[in-house]
Chains A and B, each alone.
Chain A
Amino acid sequence: MNAMLKRPMKTLMAVGVSLGLAVGFSATVSASDWKPTKAVEYIAPANPGGGWDTLVRTTANVIRAEGLSDQNFAAINVPGGGGAIAWAQIARDSKNDHKLFATSPPIILVPLSGTSRFNHKDFTPIARLITDYSIVLVRADSPYQTVNDLFDAIKNNSRLSVGGGSAAGSMDHISIAGAASVAGLKASDVNYIAFSGGGEAMTNLLGGHVEAVITGAGESLGQLEGSQLRALAVSSPERIQGALASVPTYQEQGIDYTFDIWRGVMGPKDMSPAAVTYYQDLFAKMMETDSWTEATTRLGWLDAYQNSEEFGVFLDEQLEQFSAVLGELGLLRQ
């Protein structure tokens, strides 16, 4: 019934839009009238279970639950290369208005370390949504009680392994190496072991194969519920409220360091302006819903919305900052 009513309406609108265009007075009308006409491919450039994946599934979920779009936002995982494999795939499909992907610092870090041919300028920023922080975990029976204990141990033992779910030179590595460098070590002192996802890094920590793991604070919630792990430090400027309230920041422990894992959404390079407007507004609307508030509370995320234009400016600034940091750490390969 519904579907039958909708179809002629849509056709009418399409006719109206094309008529408007023909007469030549309606860029704005067509912009606000663009809607996805089929399922949107919503890509998480990593295996399921990680930060990008959680962002994609949670936002797709809220959009569906709140009825914000007639079309399904279909979560698709394209893992590998710290994200570079998905970016290559999306760059190949540059005109697709029905393709989005979750993004975060790796879109800047990975190209800088020379492992992706595509950087954030090869895509269209849609919106920045949230920020998360990284967290250092050890086993509950580990001798390290504070993050300084861990860094002292690293100073004396260059083999002490710290696992992470992204490639060398990527987000997790930079986060811990940057902290170590501020704490007075050399960034390269950290023996960082790259696993193909946060989940795999976690099993290796639980099994005693690595001494510590660096991961996203949001991702670690399910694991921290048990009594097997202990969190040593979180990279936020102030303690995160909720389940992680007992975890001290780096700054509390005398290390003047913060690391933001901002997350947002981007589209292919030549996405039509009308589609960009539609999506940025859709995400703004999404972040005002109750389902969203409920989800962010559960996942420990903090809202940090920016629209397409602001997000683009922000990304350029991040590029400058990260280039400086990476250069300092000797990880700049470009």
Chain B
Amino acid sequence: MESLNDLIYGFGIALDPMNLMYVFVGVFAGTLIGMLPGLGPISALALMIPITFNMSPASGLILMSGVYYGAIFGGSTSSILLNAPGVAGTVATSFDGYPMAKQGLAGKALAIAAYASFVGGTISVVGLMLIAPLLSKVAVSFGPAEYFALMVLGLTAVVSLSDKSLVKGLIAAVVGIMISIMGMDLQTGTERYTFDSIHMLEGIDFLVVALGIFALAEVFYMLLKGSNKPQERNVIGSLKLSKSEVKEIAAPIGRSSILGFFTGVLPGAGATIGSFLGYSMEKRLAKDGDTFGKGNIKGVAAPEAANNAACGGSFVPLLTLGVPGSGTTAVLLGALLVMGVTPGPMMLEQRPDVFWGVIASMYIGNIFLLVLNLPLIPYIARILDAPRPLLLALILIFCMIGVYGISFSTFDLLMLLLFGLIGLVMRLYGFPAAPLILGLILGALMEESMRRALQISGGEWSIFIDKPISLTLLAIALFSLTAPMIKTAIKRARSA
């Protein structure tokens, strides 16, 4: 009841005409930023800090958070249409979204992404409103040992992500982990795999690899396999979902939203890991799991619900502890400090206007996003009508601009090309790309957490099973690895 009163108070702030305009401008700008591959919300938000300086903290945060969740919402578009993830959180969306677009179902894939994003975003706002202070306890309960266990659990998804050959999937995952630890080690300052190059000190940005392995490799592949195939890409298809399709995606969206929200609450996990977890969970649960990766609608719905929910979840540590859980929320924290608000445990009491105003604005923002995006789909999807040479050139340009926008480094452009070639080779020899990306996302955090945990325990490995959360996560990981084997063993025993 109390939170209802607070929410009404929050809507009082969010419905102020100026704040309504900020929500609209924020989500609109965010959608556009999200659609362009590479150009992520972090740089956009950093650029906006000067603009928000003279606003009230509530208005400033309403505008900036709008850009953030707007970008995650819009990021699916280029994942689906071009196989080029718009933001890191939408990489998993391309696994099934792009095959759908190739089959002439681009409209439907985009519509599913929009609905799933809307539901995921809204569920996370409800969670944020009802249990944010409680959840801050969950966020701090994750120490190094727990993070390590979570990363291990995440990595078991390699099994479900390697479609044909498990060995090739494992090879790809290990390469991904190796890429993730390139650069300077945070705990000792030692350089690893830097080949004595200054450019490698910083490691390799995630999006450089993702854009190379997915988008650029696709461009190269199309060039190689070239014109002997008739052009079949200019079908957008209907946006409408049949009743049975709605039924099919409803449960995955609900589950992935909740999973994504909790992943987002954990500092350091966030939308990218959330979307991968959602995707691999649904692939395992689905009866038609083997069609994931070939254009299954649940494979679009799950990661999109999860990444938008994670985005809402990431506001929990920010607003209740004053601790940023991701790069983007860190920029938001910086902006709040600049506006004279010090986020911390007392923020809810000291600045309820900021807390409840932002939460209320998220409800409005999500509705804006849905209303804004659905009618635009046919127009945006028309990019697929472009003649193939033009389209390929366009993808190439988008990727180059995106990568250069991250680091302003021409070296990274060469790395992009290199990963494009690696991606092509992987495709030609049947190595799946998804496990590599998964290893890349989880590897560094897993390693860092493990070393920290062991340093705290004085080298005792028991720390990983002494802690209940860590033990539970590791047990689930073990179970999900052995379950398929047990299943086949039982089947064999029965048939024998």
Contact = CB atoms under 8 A, between A and B. Distances in A.
Interface of A: 47-49, 53-54, 57-58, 61, 64-65, 72, 74-78, 80-82, 84-85, 88-89, 91-92, 110, 113-117, 158-159, 161, 167-169, 191, 193-196, 199-200, 202-204, 206-210, 221-223, 225-226, 228, 298
Contact of A226 (B323, B334, B344): B344
A226 B337 CA distance: 17
B139 interface: yes
A223 B345 contact: yes
Classify chain B's interface size: 35 or more
B74 to A, nearest CB: 23
Question: Which DSSP category, helix, strand, loop or mixed, fits chain A's interface?
Answer: mixed
Contacts of A76: 46
B337 A54 contact: yes
B331 interface: yes
B389 interface: no
Contacts of B457: 159
Interface in B177-233: 183-184, 186-190, 198, 201-203
B375 interface: no
B340 to A, nearest CB: 8
Contacts of B165: none
Contacts of A226: 344-346
Given A81-B184, A203-B317, 6 more contacts: A58-B338, A84-B189, A199-B324, A199-B330, A207-B139, A222-B322
A85 B202 contact: yes
A88 B334 contact: no
Contacts of A203: 139-140, 142, 267, 317, 321, 323
B46 A84 contact: no
A298 B203 CA distance: 37
Nearest to A78: B202
Contacts of A113: 189
Given A57-B334, A89-B202, A200-B267, A207 B189 contact: no
17 contacts: A47-B327, A48-B330, A48-B333, A48-B334, A58-B337, A64-B53, A74-B47, A81-B186, A81-B201, A88-B202, A158-B458, A193-B452, A199-B322, A199-B323, A206-B321, A209-B143, A222-B343
Of A48, A80, A208, which is in contact with the most chain B CB atoms at under 10 Å from its CB? A48
Contact of B331 (A48, A64, A194, A298): A48
Contacts of A78: 202
Contacts of A168: 187-189
B49 interface: yes
Contact of B334 (A72, A75, A193, A208): A75
Contacts of A159: 456-458
Nearest to B198: A88
Nearest to A61: B338
Contacts of B203: 80
A228 B187 contact: no
Contacts of B49: 57, 75
A204 B143 contact: yes
Contact of B140 (A88, A91, A161, A206): A206
B46 A75 contact: yes
A72 B48 CA distance: 12
Contacts of B139: 203, 207
Contact of B330 (A77, A91, A221, A298): A77
Contacts of A114: 189
Given A193-B455, A196-B186, A207-B142, A223 B334 contact: no
B141 interface: yes
A220 to B, nearest CB: 10
Contact of A80 (B46, B50, B202, B346): B202
Of B190, B317, B334, which is in contact with the most chain A CB atoms at under 10 Å from its CB? B334
Contacts of B480: none
B144 interface: yes
Contacts of A110: 189
B291 interface: no
B443 to A, nearest CB: 15
Interface string B69-93: 0000000000000000000000000
Nearest to A170: B189
B402 to A, nearest CB: 18
B472 interface: no
Given A49-B324, A80-B183, A161 B345 contact: no
B342 interface: yes
Contact of A116 (B189, B268, B344): B189
A195 B452 CA distance: 8
A167 B187 contact: yes
Contact of B144 (A49, A61, A209, A221): A209
Contacts of A116: 189
A228 B333 contact: no
A228 B345 CA distance: 8
Interface in B256-313: 267-268
A221 B140 contact: no
A80 B184 contact: yes
Given A49-B324, A206-B321, A225-B342, A84 B184 contact: yes
A247 B324 CA distance: 26
A57 B338 contact: yes
B330 A49 contact: yes
B201 A200 contact: no
A194 B187 contact: yes
Contacts of A161: 455-456
Interface in B441-484: 448, 452, 455-458
A225 B346 contact: yes
Given A48-B334, A49-B324, A84 B187 contact: no
A44 to B, nearest CB: 9
B150 to A, nearest CB: 14
B333 A193 contact: no
B65 to A, nearest CB: 15
Contacts of B183: 80, 85
A95 to B, nearest CB: 15
Contacts of A58: 337-338
B456 A49 contact: no
Given A64-B53, A203-B139, A222-B343, A49 B187 contact: no
A115 B49 CA distance: 33
A298 B142 CA distance: 31
Contact of B344 (A61, A204, A207, A225): A225
Contact of A57 (B144, B317, B337, B344): B337
Q: Which 8 A-B pairs have the closest CB atoms?
A: A115-B189, A209-B143, A226-B345, A222-B344, A207-B140, A48-B330, A222-B342, A81-B184
B448 to A, nearest CB: 8
A88 B411 CA distance: 14
Contacts of A210: 143, 456
A163 B425 CA distance: 44
Contacts of A64: 50, 53
Nearest to B340: A298
A70 B456 CA distance: 50
